[in-house]
């Protein structure tokens, strides 16, 4: 599974990345984390608010930092 974090690389984006990684590890998923900071790529992905989390091609979180528990529920 590809988990993509969209944002500027700010503290909220970093926290979302850590939370997504914790959720994926808790579910024992085979995953990779990609951090996307290029505004054109963010817009092309259909992201309107950052930070955002996409799993494969599905936007799971947009405009907030989800907890590991929230992300785990979305991924399972």
Q: Domain 2-75, CATH 3.40.30.10 — does that match?
A: yes
Boundaries of every domain in the chain: 2-75
Give Cβ neighbours of residue 2 (< 8 Å, ≥ 6 apart): 31, 32, 34, 55, 56
> Catalytic annotation on 13?
yes
Residue-level pLDDT at 34: 98
Average pLDDT per consecutive 10 residues, the chain (76 residues; last block may be shorter): 97 98 98 98 97 97 98 97
Active-site residue (options: 1, 8, 10, 43): 10
Residue-level pLDDT at 55: 98
Distance CA 27, CA 38 (A): 29
> Catalytic annotation on 20?
no
Residue-level pLDDT at 9: 93
Token pair in block for residue 27 = 């579910």
Active-site residue (options: 13, 16, 52, 61): 13
- pTM of this structure: 0.94
Tell me the residue length of the chain.
Answer: 76
Residue-level pLDDT at 65: 98
């Amino acid at each position: 599974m590809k988990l993509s974090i969209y944002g500027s690389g700010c503290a909220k984006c970093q926290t979302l990345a850590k939370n997504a990684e914790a959720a994926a590890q808790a579910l024992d998923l085979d995953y990779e984390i990609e951090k996307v900071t290029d505004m054109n790529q963010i817009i092309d992905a259909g992201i309107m608010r950052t930070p955002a989390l996409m799993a494969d091609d599905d936007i799971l979180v947009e405009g907030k930092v989800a907890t590991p528990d929230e992300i785990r529920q979305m991924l399972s």
